[in-house]
Structures are given as structure tokens and as C-alpha cells.
Amino acid sequence: MNMEYSINRQWSDQYLPAIRRIVGAHLLRAAPDWLDMRHATDLMMLDGRDIRVAARVRRPGYAARYPFDFTLRSQVASGAMTELEKVVNGEGDWLFYGHAGDDGVSLDLWWLIDLRAFRAALIRHAMNGYPLRCGNKANTDGTWFKWFDIRSFPTDPPLVIARGGRLWPNPKSIGALELKH
């Protein structure tokens, strides 16, 4: 494991308690009355199988500039498998994508994304030319990211499971709604 990964992982892990609270709230549902009355069941898991959640937290300052974009690492200098490759290959069920607040604890803006819907949109984009707004961005450290504009995804299946944060529900408060790319 390289030092840069360790530093970035340690930084992003400080947000795991907040991410667990947010994602956990979307895994439980109220049980139907008949289960409550007969089987002492008030809450049920959304799905009986493992739900694997990828989590990405951007450093403070990006929410205002890119409120509707999410990024996935698409190339690293080491040649290791990237987030984008893993997701395209079918790994992960959901993606938690958040923008860190200046206080080091809160999340200014976050999205819970259904990766099955994401993969379906990529297939539509590749096969039928569905107009996803996306692009590539290079970082100074030799890594590359692919950015995607959430607003450009098909409505069915829905990409966004949930959204929130200190700057939500009024995205106009975090910047203009026009495209930044």
C-alpha cells in the first residue's frame, strides 16, 4: 500500500460515521402491519443480501463549484485497478458521494447513487448514444478522474437513491445550475 493512499484513506475515513448514519437510514424500512402483528417485526432490511457501498468524499470547496457532478478515479500511475474499472465490472451496489464541510466532520452535500442504474446509463450511452454529460479530468499527481453530471442521467431507472447535506435542498444556494464543463 502506498503512502498517498494511506493519507487519503485516513482523511476520508473520518467521515465514515456520518456516512454510516446516512446510508443506514436507507437500508431499513417500516415493516407491513401483518409482519408487525404476527412476527414482532417493526423494521426490515431493504434487501436480504449484502449491499456493498462505495464511499467517496471530496475535500472542502468542491460542492459550490460542482454541485451536480460526481467523479470516479479512472487512471492511476501505478496501473492498479481504479474505482471506475471496479464499478464498470459490476462491483458495488451503491455509491455514497459526499462533499466535505470545512469543519472536518460535516458533509455539505451528498448523493447516494444506485450503481446498477449508473451501469445501465453507461450501456445506453455506449450502445445508443444516450447523451450523458461526462468528461475526463487530470490531476497533478498523475491520476485521472471521469466526471458525470447527475442531471444528465435517465430518470428510469433512477440514479439517485437519496440526497442531502447542509447545502441541500436548495442547490441554487451552492452555485448556478448551469453546466460547469
* All three cell numbers of 108: 455539505
Q: Using alpha carbons, select from 63, 52, 50 the residue that is nearest to residue 106.
A: 63
Higher per-residue pLDDT: 55 or 15: 55
Q: What are phi and psi of 100, to 5 degrees?
A: -65, 145
Sketch the domain layout of the chain as residue ranges: 49-171
Helix (H, G, I), strand (E, B) or coil at 179: coil
Helix (H, G, I), strand (E, B) or coil at 146: strand
Q: What is the pLDDT of residues 100-151, one digit of tens each?
A: 998 888 899 999 999 999 999 999 999 998 999 999 999 998 899 999 999 9
The pLDDT of residue 35: 82
Q: What are phi and psi of 150, to 5 degrees?
A: -55, -35
The pLDDT of residue 175: 41
The pLDDT of residue 177: 36
Q: What is the pLDDT of residues 18-67, one digit of tens each?
A: 888 888 888 777 888 888 788 888 887 766 677 889 999 999 999 989 99
Cβ atoms of 143 and 76 closer than 8 Å: yes
- Beta partners for 97? 56, 111
Q: Where are the alpha helices (DSSP H) in the chain?
A: 3-13, 16-24, 33-39, 62-65, 83-88, 115-128
